[in-house]
Amino acid sequence: MKLHLSIFSVFALILSCVACASNQASKTNVFIIGDSTASEYSADRFPRTGWGMRLQQQLSDGVTVINAAKSGRSSRSFFNEGHFEPVKKQMKAGDYLIIQFGHNDQKDTQDRYTSPDSSYKEYLTRYIDAARKVGAKPILVTSINRYKYDFDNKIVPTLGGYPFAMHELGKALNVPVISLNKKTKALFEQLGPVKTRALFLFYKPGEYAAYPDGASDGTHLSVWGADEVVSLVVEDLREIAPDLFK
């Protein structure tokens, strides 16, 4: 009798482990690749926050956000430095790959620069093809605007042809595009220059331990800025991928 119980217990444990592994494999992952406006930051960098850090709380319990965005990377350097390899290995059918590059693609360095009409699209296409190869679903996201206003309190475009190029590529390859560039322009102009400062990192000396000398950073987001930007992402994501929400 004890032997039968022991065998039954072992069999039940095996079934439980198989079910657990199957459940884990069936869960949906949302991968984010991109630059510092989306990436993770440790507590000692507070209140600097990437919008990707705030996405998990917006999605259903069966979805896991894996934020692989890296500060300072362009579509070229992220790929060539090998940061995409772990994502490729983990992606599976039914997952999502959110792709946001542009800020650092502008930088005139050999390892980062891409041309909007050629190499930028080529590197984005590599990510799209890798996702589709395993049955994952790519989503393109244009870069957020920087804090820069003209005399009429309108946002000054600083991202050149990259947002337009991403829309062109999305249309050509039938990939959905979330236009954060357009959305953040509308948000910043609605809030105005004074309120919008709080979305970024403008601080007096000593206001935060991470910025003892103060900060005047109109590119990277505060906690509130990340929450506002991720809400703009979620607006479109609900339509593109309703299965990610309760």
Res. 11: pLDDT tops 80 = no
For residue 144, the enclosing domain spans: 29-244
Model confidence, pTM? 0.89
Per-residue 3-state assignment (H helix, E strand, C coil) for 76-121: HHHHHCCCCHHHHHHCCCCCEEEEECCCHHHCCCCCCCCCCCCHHH
Res. 15: pLDDT tops 70 = no
User: What percentage of the chain carries pLDDT values higher than 70?
Assistant: 89
pLDDT tens string 92-103 = 999 999 999 999
Residue 107 lies in a domain: yes
Q: State residue 219's pLDDT score.
A: 98
- Specify the number of domains making up the chain: 1
DSSP annotation of 35? -
User: What percentage of the chain carries pLDDT values higher than 90?
Assistant: 89
Which conformational region is residue 235 in: left (phi greater than 0), alpha (psi within -120 to 50 degrees), or beta?
alpha
Q: State residue 19's pLDDT score.
A: 38
Tell which wins on pLDDT, 22 or 108.
Answer: 108
Sheet with 96-100, strands from edge to edge, namely 63-67, 28-34, 96-100, 137-141, 177-178
The average confidence (pLDDT) of the chain is: 92
Residue 10 lies in a domain: no
Residue 24 lies in a domain: no
pLDDT bin (cut points 50, 70, 90) of residue 126 is very high
CATH number of the domain encompassing residue 183: 3.40.50.1110
Q: State residue 145's pLDDT score.
A: 98
Residue 11 lies in a domain: no
pLDDT tens string 186-238 = 999 999 999 999 999 999 999 999 999 999 999 999 999 999 999 999 999 99
Give the CB-side neighbour count of residue 116, counting CA atoms within 13 A.
14
Q: State residue 25's pLDDT score.
A: 53
pLDDT bin (cut points 50, 70, 90) of residue 22 is very low
* Helix 180-196 and helix 223-240, axial crossing angle in degrees, nearest 10: 150
Report the alpha-carbon distance of residue 49 to residue 47 in Å, rounded.
Answer: 6
Res. 24: pLDDT tops 80 = no
Residue 187 lies in a domain: yes
Residue 17 lies in a domain: no
Residue 78 lies in a domain: yes
Contact in structure between 149 and 193 (CB atoms under 8 Å): yes
Q: State residue 20's pLDDT score.
A: 40
Residue 1 lies in a domain: no
Res. 32: pLDDT tops 50 = yes
* Closest of 43, 40, 184, 200 to residue 102, by C-alpha: 184
